[in-house]
Amino acid sequence: MKYSTRTRYGLRLLVYLGARYKGKFLKLNTIAESEKISIKYLEQIVRLLKPTGIISVARGAHGGYKLAVDPAEINLKQIFTILEGNIDPIECLQESFDCKKKVLCSTIEVWQGLQTVIDDYLEKNKLKDVVDNYKSKHSINMFYI
């Protein structure tokens, strides 16, 4: 049970953008270098985020990305759901998945319970919380961006 690098990178990207919220558009190349992530891979991640409206884009020269919404208004569950695709710990929990054993299954409640504590945690934590942490750790540089 591991979260994908897609989610880990995506979260780091959003924290990076969140720390520079209301600033200029930032090009991916800079972010990729700064976060030590393959730019081509980041492009794919960013394309996953775009349709949800969480980031806004400027194409062409001097283009780039910025966060489109207030970090205080986004929680981690929303982010994880976009990046991880679906955060159910097992397939049986998905509505679309019709497990024949569901009626007599005694373990489904275990997974439901697990999903609940994970969901609660992710909903409780806003992007802003992580951004604040980022800012405090990178405080020296934040004025020079």
Partner DNA sequence: ATTATATCATAGTGAAATAATATGATAAAG
Partner DNA sequence: CTTTATCATATTATTTCACTATGATATAAT
Give min distance, CB of 59 to its own copies, in A. Answer: 28
Our CA angle for 51, 36, 14, nearest 5°, is 30
- Please name the residue ranges forming H helices in 20-141: 28-35, 39-49, 76-84, 108-124, 127-137
- Cα–Cα distance for residue pair 57/135, rounded to 1 Å: 23
Question: In this structure, what token pair is assigned to residue 122?
Answer: 């992710």
**3-state class (DSSP) for residue 66:** strand
By CB under 8 A, name the binding residues for its own copies: 1-4, 7-8, 11-12, 15, 36, 76, 84, 87-91, 101, 104-107, 109-111, 113-114, 117-118, 120-122, 125, 130-131, 133-134, 137-138
122 binds, among its own copies, DNA, ligand FES, none (CB under 5 to 8 A by kind): its own copies
**5 scored as a contact of ligand FES (CB under 6 A):** no
Question: Which residues contact DNA (rule: CB under 7 A)?
Answer: 4-6, 9, 27-29, 38, 40-41, 43-44, 46-47, 50, 57-65
